[in-house]
Structure 1
């Protein structure tokens, strides 16, 4: 099971259902060593020959469908699985903390005390959690590629590709009623259409207190060995009744045996194995160091806030956990990229591939300049990376209220366009899921909002300079702390009903709104969109 990082480099995140294979070797020592076969595999591209020849195991179509439809994607980041016919879902504790924190209050802190529903009537509904079960996979590579013609420049190609993907998703949603996402595989080498059954009535069943769930040190899933009860149970409902589930995983009372084949199904993000040396160098020298500096800054901010009271610690827990998760993940990736032996091997492998391409006239004609094109794109991304991160990725506006405001502003703009022309996150097929989060009734804490927003506004001023024209407009003659207080205190978007009314009013409502957070989102949107356009098109 994986927890999605809240911090990502430039590339758009793609979630796929994957199989990993492990051969478990049990021992009498406290540390259980794992000997793993290399790689992860898609369910529609299983390593049948490897499984058959090396392990004598045949992954039949029915077996793969069973495991695939037993596996679950959490929209807040993470994986789980059905474990009963009446909709019971098992996942890691840290995957469930988002729901638990949003259900908690100063008088009912489920993270500290844990939770157990004695009856189904006692199972509280998560305020904005969506679970997805992958039902079908369709290869749409040919259709996506056909929309891009050789004479198109990169800007026209990006526009055509986005249009056909939005169209494919909408057609699929209308035809099947299933959530439909086109995912790019192999850096755009292939495209698959994933159709998900969606559950939005998700209720908490059981979670231990965080002290036992995270017992043993650093509170996350990147630390081993771990001796804790890292588990959480939910139940999905349909029409106010527990969902009837055909495919679910059954508990094994015997557990894993010595030398037994283990297959792990989940929804991780992506790897960078196909990145060029130039891309990896950019991650090593610019992207990851920048992100780490911001993460460390915010980790200190939230730790200091949390130490002031137990209530502060409860409010900041999920944000702090996400930052710790991201910091550790990126530190690990950066350590690999800073290892000369790894980069040297990557460079040698790349040189071998380039030499092979240049020896074949057809390959040279088609792909000979591919590495130079990538290098040119990376140079462009490096030039705009800081400003893109601050404005489009909104690192200068670390606030749930600002996120609501930006979504409302763009929702009005994008839904006024034909579906094929919209930004990907506002395509017709994804609007229902977007609105689930936009209209969340999760609590908003003014003091925490002010703290985070003030620090991120200070980051904006530090990065661009206090005399920068946009910085002056954003701060409106105030210090970052005063400006953050004014924005949060004057914001009406804390009320989910107010957000719904504004969304229903469309562009007319946005234009007439006096909400300071809406006005801030409108202020920075032209420059943020300009930077995004450069990134997407080049």
Structure 2
């Protein structure tokens, strides 16, 4: 049964992504897959038949490396070859990633159906009821839910207290390296080799991320963070753990959005990636 994201209406955009010759960064793919495998192991348990079938007696990191290094799907030409050969070519393929997908297809579809029925279906039904109830009781005192329309959210850069410890409003590049060192660069606190090699060149006092009281929600990632002078100072990409209830409630004392600081972007682009032309274009325009 075809999944909804593979509808004919989306075929053009799907093929554009599928046949793209953009480079695939293996280290990043290994990190993402290892994180997913670790999560699966924690949910199902190491002795679960599914976990054992997927991990094949290896750690999530080792299994991820084995799969990413062994697959030919990272090559655009091979993806085109499979698509041209249609179902028969895929069924006859012994690529490790395709083998993995085949081996968990039944369980994956079952988990997805359960999530769609028990979570998404309930949410879709309930959101409308909650929105109507809020409007009837609060009127225009509350702003409406995000509906993919353009809107502004105001806030201030501000730290917060968590479990008796004050969380400062800014982190630094030095803190990033320190955290990797504290955990001896073990997963998931591993910095790419290039970051480690260029560390002597980096100003470790440079702000990297900052938190603010903006009330945002999933789907806002990548939105510009602008100061009162209209200057771009960051890009929002996440929220703290306390913001997970943001669909239903907001507490300014602890809810925080997280942005990457443009000063951190510039420092990394210049010192680690040698992308001076990009920074010059952004700062001198």
TM-score by length of structure 2 reads 0.39
TM-score norm. by structure 1 comes to: 0.21
